[in-house]
Structure 1
Amino acid sequence: MNKVLHISASPRGPRSESRAIAATLLDTLRELSPRTPIEEYDLWDGTLPEFGPDAAAAKMAVFAGETPQGAPAAAWDAARQTFRRFDAFDRYVFSVPMWNAGIPYILKQFIDVISQPGLVFGFDPATGYTGLLRGKRAAVIYTSAVHGPGRGPAFGADFQTTYLEDWLRWTGIDDIRGIHFRPNLVTADAATGRRLAHAEARDVAKLFLNGEDR
């Protein structure tokens, strides 16, 4: 049975638009498949380890074919535990608000922690990277309050979608379903866009577990 992990990158709790759309998707999954295990991972809950000098030293040691020792070994173990929590699931739902044209730093920290050789990727000096997370799927809810389709550069740019989807494909996850809610909260009524995003979340949920084509 497929297991679903919701990774929330918003610190806004019940006020978060991305989390609310993710909740609609997950509630629909529960209705469609009540026995499907679903777990929530709030990246702001304080359990995400740092990726600092010791972790960087461990990563380079592993790249060199060495075994991390001392403090780097402890940092490497924390990174592997975080990866194992992630890898235990087959399906992922990411709720991702736009921050400064990109993703929240806590999500970048999560990506840096788990993106390790032999875990997320393999590397060959002649052929480059190989993603190791095969056979998994992801649904990503993207929200932004100012940037959106058809708005000029004064309303920002989108490095949020491009970064996250490039990373997912790099890991080997190429079945990605994106849901976008991008109202211009300064000049437009967001109700229509919000309603459409929640409807799309329900539609994605119907396809998320059963393998139908997008």
Structure 2
Amino acid sequence: MNQLIGDALPLALGIAISPIPVIATILMLLSPEARRTSIGFLLGWTAGIIVAVVVFTLLSSILPAEQSDATRIANALVKLVLGALLLLLAVRQWRGRPRGGAEPKLPKWMSAIDTMTAGRAALLAFALAAINPKNLLLAASAGILLGQAASAGAAVAAIAVFVVIAASTVAAPVVAYLAASSRMTGVLESLRAWLVRNNTTIMTILLLVMGVSVIGKGIAAF
């Protein structure tokens, strides 16, 4: 199981470091309905990660247990394709970066966060975790790895660790705000501004590293 967790850890960190959901969480914590919307967002984000990684883990686990040449090659090719897609997303992210001192563009839905209900926040977070192409590719890559667990218990434990790490950067500001809301406003605003400025760079490096890592695992599987 330790090997599985070690292999999936970079992918969990990849989801955790994604700036957009963290920025959305901070904006919710600065909104009039901070407690309700942030908790709804955290629950939806966690649920989306669980669904995505479990679905791909189950799909991976139905592959024949006996590692024939055909099965081994199929697994390797899947990893190579996922890694290549992550690299393509990295290139696309970098090509779309702000130029000439232009202000970074954030998704239009962020302008509606102040009026968002807890239910809508949960649905938004679920979509960002389970449907957004970047996170979906990372979850799919993790599921391919976790589906190779020797037992169901090992897979469940590895998935639990994966989810905790992947959801940690959304959970941390929510928990901190609930514990000490009066002291968190300035910190959250500074963090939001930094993430907005560096969103493209963070995501490009993240996708590049994850893509190379997954491709490396695919090559090693041949």
TM-score by length of 1: 0.29
TM-score by length of 2: 0.28
Greater length-normalized contact order (CA 8 Å, ≥ 6 residues apart): 2
Between Structure 1 and Structure 2, which shows a larger proportion of strand residues? 1
Between Structure 1 and Structure 2, which shows a larger proportion of helix residues? 2
